[in-house]
Every structure is written in structure tokens, then in C-alpha cells.
Amino acid sequence: MRFLTSFGLSFLILLAAAGWFASGTLVMGGQGPGNGETSIITLIEGEEHGPIATALSDAGMLVEHSPEEVELARMTVAERVAQNANSAAPEVSVRTQTFSLQPMPIEVTLRGRTMAKANVAAMAETAGVVNTVHVAKGQRVEIGDLLCTIAPGTRAAAVAQAEASVAQAEAGLAQAQLDFNTNAELRERGLAPANTAAAVEVALSGARAQVSAAQAALDNAQAEMDRTRITAEVAGLVQAPIAVQGSMLGQGGTCATIVELDPIVFSGSVAEANIGLARTGLEAHLRTVNGQTAEGTVTYVAASADDATRSFPVEIEFPNADFSIRDGITAQATVEMGTLPGHLLPQSVLTLNDEGVLGVRAVEDGVVAFHAVTIVSDSRDGVWVTGLPQSIDIITIGQEFVTDGQRVRAGEAAPAEQGEPA
């Protein structure tokens, strides 16, 4: 009896499961969302709405789907999420700020080193023994400062002799002038023949020539004497080689070498991609590896590129009145090449869209729109970008919580909030 009871109960459970299974739907995969769905009763009867299906439907046991449920089944997951977001999500409040086009400075950074404007060797113009060296290595000198003195030797005597010759020639000139005046007076009185005038005129001209020759000899002797004093022709710092007191210095020998450090010159190269913007007179900012800074201008741009680097050498001069910037220091110079239209934005407004593109989110007629940007340069005030319209209302607070095409309530950011990270 117990066996029959268990068997009967199992049969009823199996019959109920078969009925429940028959009231369901068979889904054939690979046909897209909402396609390939067929009720099991239809498969058993071989037709839609057969007698069994009608009976089950009247009994409320057959699963039926409304057109809305069928359409929902055909939608993808992304479409359902978008539909739910647009229909159920309330408008989000964001803060915006208006940004307009403005001149964007084009700056090119060059790397190179500093170098002295010139290394000038103060050379002797005459030979002789070095009597005195008036400077030492590292000493600062100005134009005209005395560097070395050469022993005068016989030059002083030559100057004295030339001075005596000048005095003698001047005396002869005075006598010739007196004879000329006396002859002219006598001829006026008729006491001297007229043909004597030529002789006194020749004598006067000869005396004048003798004075000129004597003066020229004196000038030469004095110039030779002056050459014993070697002076600085440029301002700068003294460095080796320096002559030694008591040594013989030949004509053309070096008394001292002067490094001209004002102005200091920056030597670098401009890439061929930027050479079209390079020209002399552009302003530049120098910063050395040890933190020194200066402001200067471009003074030279090469006409030919370097064969190895395909870049163009340039030189920039910077004032260096205190000689604080030394020769040969590694440095970089930022050259202002001009301006282009761009937008200066705070870094906090930059974001990425779903494809990973860098840009900003703006509000256009109450709807969020994404605009891709290209970063040109950055500064203390923000980043310079291109790719935006002339005027745009960019979301400054809340841009990470909205999506493209979403309707939002936009309010202008307060001054303290403008550029504040979201």
C-alpha cells in the first residue's frame, strides 16, 4: 500500500512538471535578441493556438508575452540601460564656465650651453722684456685697464731725440717765416728785386716740411713708447695664459687672455620643424642647470642645417653685467616664437570619454556634449589646448558624473569654484 502511495505521488509530481514545462517557451539561440522563441505546446501540436494550447490558456497555465515584453526582450543590455537612464534619471546639476579663444604663446625650448661672447688675447705690438704684470687670473678688467708693461729700453731716448728734432725744425720754420716777411716788406719799398720772392717762398715751404717730418718722427717714437703699455680692449675676466714678469715678450706675444662675459651667449639648435618660425630679435628666457635665469634676444640663426642632426644652430645673447653666468654651463632657453588662437583651461576640466579620447564636456542648449582637445603646452595658469569653438561653456564641476547627450541643469561657477577639480 505504501509503495502504491509513493508511486502515485511521484506520478502526480511528474505530471505537474510536464504541464509546467509544456506551458513554457523554447528559445533557439543564435538568432538575436527576441528571436527564436517558440512555446513548447506549439511544437507538440505543430500549430499555433491548438486545442491543448487553448485549454491551457483558458486555465491560465500558458505563458503569454505582451508586445511591450517582446520588444524589451529584443533590446540589448546597453539599450535597456540607456532607456532606463533617460526615462528614470533626474536632471543633474553641474557648474560651467565660459572659455573663449585668446592668443596662445608658441614657445620652443632649446637645450645647449652658455659660452663667452669672445676670448680676446691682449697681444704685444712691440718686443721687449716684461717689466710689470698688472693683473692676475680671475681678475675683472674694464676697457683701457693696464695689463702689462714692457721695459722701454731705448724708446725713451728715441722720443727725446724726436722732440729735439721737432724743436729744431720749428726754429728753422720761424727763421724762414721771418725772412719771407722781411723780403715782402723790402719788395714793397722797392729795396729788393721782385725775383727774390721765389727763393724765400721755397725756403719757407722747406721749413714747414721739415717741421712736419720731425713731428711725424716724434709721433712714431711716442707710439712705440706707448706700445710698451698693453691695455684691455674689452671688458671681462682675465684667464691664462698670462705673461710672466721678466720674460721676453715678442711682437704678437700674449700678455693676458680676457673672457668677455657680458653679454653671455647661449648656443643651441632649432629643429627643422620649427625653423620657419625662428628669426633674430625674438625674446627668450634662459635657465641654467644651477638655477640662474636671464632674459635676452635671438641674435643669430644659421642658414644651413647641421649635417648630423638636421637642426639649425642659433645664438641668444643675455645681459650678464655681474658676470654671474659663467662660460660653458648647461642651460635651456625658451624662445617665444609668436602666438596662435587657443584656449587656456584648468587641468581639472580635462576628462576622457568612453573611447579614451582626451577632451572636455560642455553644455550646449542644456545637453552635455563632448569635445576632443589637443594639448599644446602647459603653464602655471593651466593648459593651452586647441580644437574647441571660439566660445564654449565647459563643465567645471560634475563633468565626471554626466554622459554625452544627457540633459543637465547648468549654473555658472562661482569665482572660487572656477577651475576647481570635480
Whether 158 and 206 share a structural domain:
yes
Which one, of 240, 261, 298, lies nearest residue 122 by Cα? 240
Instruction: State mean pLDDT over 85-104.
Output: 77
Q: Cell 569635445: give the residue.
A: 371
Instruction: State mean pLDDT over 312-319.
Output: 92
Whether 168 and 223 share a structural domain:
yes
Whether 98 and 64 share a structural domain:
no
Higher-confidence residue of 332 and 276: namely 332
In this predicted structure, the answer to whether residue 417 has a pLDDT above a threshold of 50 is no
Whether 191 and 207 share a structural domain:
yes
Burial class (CB within 10 angstroms; exposed 0-12, middle 13-18, buried 19+) of 394: buried
The reply to whether 40 falls in a domain is: yes
Higher-confidence residue of 28 and 371: namely 371
Which one, of 229, 225, 219, lies nearest residue 144 by Cα? 229
Whether 372 and 405 share a structural domain:
yes
Per-residue model confidence (pLDDT) at position 422: 33
- Report yes or no: 95 and 412 within 8 Å, Cβ to Cβ: yes
Per-residue model confidence (pLDDT) at position 376: 83
Instruction: State mean pLDDT over 351-364.
Output: 89
Per-residue model confidence (pLDDT) at position 42: 61
- Report yes or no: 124 and 252 within 8 Å, Cβ to Cβ: yes
Q: Which run of H or E residues covers position 203?
A: helix 197-226
Indicate the pLDDT class of residue 421, thresholds 50, 70 and 90.
very low
Whether 99 and 165 share a structural domain:
no
Residues pairing with 285 in the sheet: 295, 334
Per-residue model confidence (pLDDT) at position 192: 75
Indicate the pLDDT class of residue 99, thresholds 50, 70 and 90.
very high
The reply to whether 242 falls in a domain is: no
> What pLDDT, in 10s, does the model give residues 202-228?
888 888 898 898 899 888 888 888 888
> What pLDDT, in 10s, does the model give residues 2-12?
555 666 666 66
The reply to whether 302 falls in a domain is: no
The reply to whether 121 falls in a domain is: no
Whether 59 and 96 share a structural domain:
no
Share of the chain above pLDDT 70, in %: 76
CATH classification at residue 401? 2.40.420.20
In this predicted structure, the answer to whether residue 113 has a pLDDT above a threshold of 90 is yes
DSSP structure class, residue 347: G
Higher-confidence residue of 353 and 86: namely 353
Q: What is the pTM of this model?
A: 0.54
Whether 39 and 14 share a structural domain:
yes
Supply the range of the domain harboring residue 385. 89-104+341-412
Q: Among 178, 196, 227, give the residue marking a domain's end.
A: 227
Whether 77 and 93 share a structural domain:
no
> What pLDDT, in 10s, does the model give residues 34-71?
455 566 656 566 566 666 666 656 655 555 555 555 56
Per-residue model confidence (pLDDT) at position 418: 42
In this predicted structure, the answer to whether residue 420 has a pLDDT above a threshold of 70 is no
In this predicted structure, the answer to whether residue 182 has a pLDDT above a threshold of 70 is yes
> Packing angle between helix 197-226 and helix 155-189, nearest 10 degrees?
160
> What pLDDT, in 10s, does the model give residues 226-251?
888 888 988 889 988 888 888 888 88
Instruction: State mean pLDDT over 126-144.
Output: 89
- Which distant-in-sequence residues (6+ apart) come within 8 Å of 354 by Cβ? none
Indicate the pLDDT class of residue 401, thresholds 50, 70 and 90.
confident
Indicate the pLDDT class of residue 177, thresholds 50, 70 and 90.
confident
The reply to whether 30 falls in a domain is: yes
Q: Among 201, 227, 253, give the residue marking a domain's end.
A: 227
Q: Which run of H or E residues covers position 420?
A: none
Per-residue model confidence (pLDDT) at position 370: 92
Share of the chain above pLDDT 90, in %: 14
Whether 96 and 71 share a structural domain:
no
Q: Among 195, 227, 259, give the residue marking a domain's end.
A: 227
Which one, of 70, 47, 69, 17, lies nearest residue 39 by Cα? 47
Whether 401 and 376 share a structural domain:
yes
The reply to whether 156 falls in a domain is: yes
The reply to whether 312 falls in a domain is: no
Which one, of 126, 132, 165, 162, lies nearest residue 147 by Cα? 132
Per-residue model confidence (pLDDT) at position 316: 92
Indicate the pLDDT class of residue 372, thresholds 50, 70 and 90.
very high
Task: Give the C-alpha separation, 92 to 349, whole Å.
Answer: 17
The reply to whether 43 falls in a domain is: yes
- Which distant-in-sequence residues (6+ apart) come within 8 Å of 33 by Cβ? 73, 74, 75, 76
Whether 100 and 47 share a structural domain:
no
Task: Give the C-alpha separation, 3 to 33, whole Å.
Answer: 48
Per-residue model confidence (pLDDT) at position 156: 84
Per-residue model confidence (pLDDT) at position 275: 82
Instruction: State mean pLDDT over 347-374.
Output: 89
In this predicted structure, the answer to whether residue 77 has a pLDDT above a threshold of 80 is no
Tally of domains in the chain? 3
> What pLDDT, in 10s, does the model give residues 389-400?
999 999 888 888
